[in-house]
Amino acid sequence: MTSADLHTLTGAYALNALLADEREEFERHLAACGPCTQEVRELAATAGRLGLAMTTTPPAALKADVLRRIRAVRQEAPRTGPSLPAAVRTGRRRALTRYALAACLAAAVGLGGVAAWQHQQADTAREQARAAQSRAEQLADVLAAPDAKATHGRLGGDAAGTLVVARSRNQAVFLSSRLPRPPAGKVYQLWFADAGSMRSAGLLDPAHATEAVLLSGHVDEASGMGITIEPAGGSHQPTTTPLALMTIPST
């Protein structure tokens, strides 16, 4: 495997998705590569925050129901076949880097879908599952992009935020942690800073202290991102002093 190939494995390594021989080779590379070390650290931290943001406590009866269903499912025998060419293995590994996080997130949010399936009409549960999976995949596409860069900031008190930007997708994700509930009738609003003006990038859910959101709109030439407290429903322009201003990571 070439040095250029090794640089593309940071996402798969952070998600523990490498084969044993690939992991050993990458760890030897990691010991001498500062940029890859930093990128692995950022991706692992981001994946952890996102997993926490999307976690849903399953109903008490879920474990017993899953075990009961497993006993009724026939296990498929393992498939065997010729070894794949190196180019195909590399392609699959890169695909895994992109989709492994999406699969994990879809599984996490899917727990809420299982509960809804049990207590609501089936068509409603399916629609919720599709929407949750779509959100998870969009978030994962940004976080697992080869050029994803992260920056961190304090939001006051114990609250913190992480901004992840993927220039190749022209998108960004914001992850909040320990954010206090805003005053009654208020909401946290995100903004892109564009050449001296502010452009709305979406709202945070007031009920969630920890959340991961895909920012609305493209990154384009934005130089930074801010967060303010606004009236419920949001504002066309900021009406309060930003809690924080975070610089868009450079390429």
Please name the residues in contact with 219: beta carbons below 8 A apart, sequence gap of 6 or more.
Answer: 165, 167, 170, 171, 172, 192, 248
pTM of the predicted model, to two decimals?
0.51
- What pLDDT score does 117 carry? 45
The CA distance from 173 to 86, in Å, is 33
pLDDT of residue 24: 86
pLDDT for 12 equals: 76
How high is the pLDDT of residue 45? 67
Following CA atoms 215, 219, 223, 227 in sequence, which dihedral angle do they give, to the nearest 10 degrees?
A: -10
Q: In the beta sheet, which residues pair with residue 247?
A: 224
Write down the pLDDT at residue 137. 79
CA angle (240, 241, 245) in 5-degree steps: 130
Ordered mean pLDDT values, 10 residues apiece, the chain (251 residues): 70 75 85 81 66 55 66 57 51 50 50 48 62 74 87 87 90 89 94 89 89 88 92 94 87 63
pLDDT at 20: 81
- Helix axis angle, 86-119 to 122-143, nearest 10°: 140
Angstrom distances, CA of residue 218 to CA of 67, 75, 100, 165, 179: 44, 45, 24, 10, 25
Tokens (6 digits) for 105: 């997130």
- C-alpha–C-alpha distance, residues 16 and 171, integer Å: 25
Contact of 33 with 10, CB cutoff 8 Å: no
* Per-residue model confidence (pLDDT) at position 238: 94
CB 146 within 8 A of CB 12: no
Residues in CB range of 124: below 8 A, 6 or more apart: 116
Q: What angle do CA 72, 73, 78 make, to 5 degrees?
A: 150
Cα–Cα separations (whole angstroms), residue 79 to 76, 82: 9, 10
DSSP, collapsed to helix, strand or coil, labels residue 194 as strand
Instruction: Quote the tokens at residue 245.
Output: 């201003």
Smallest CA-to-CA distance from 13 within 24, 168, 3 is with 24
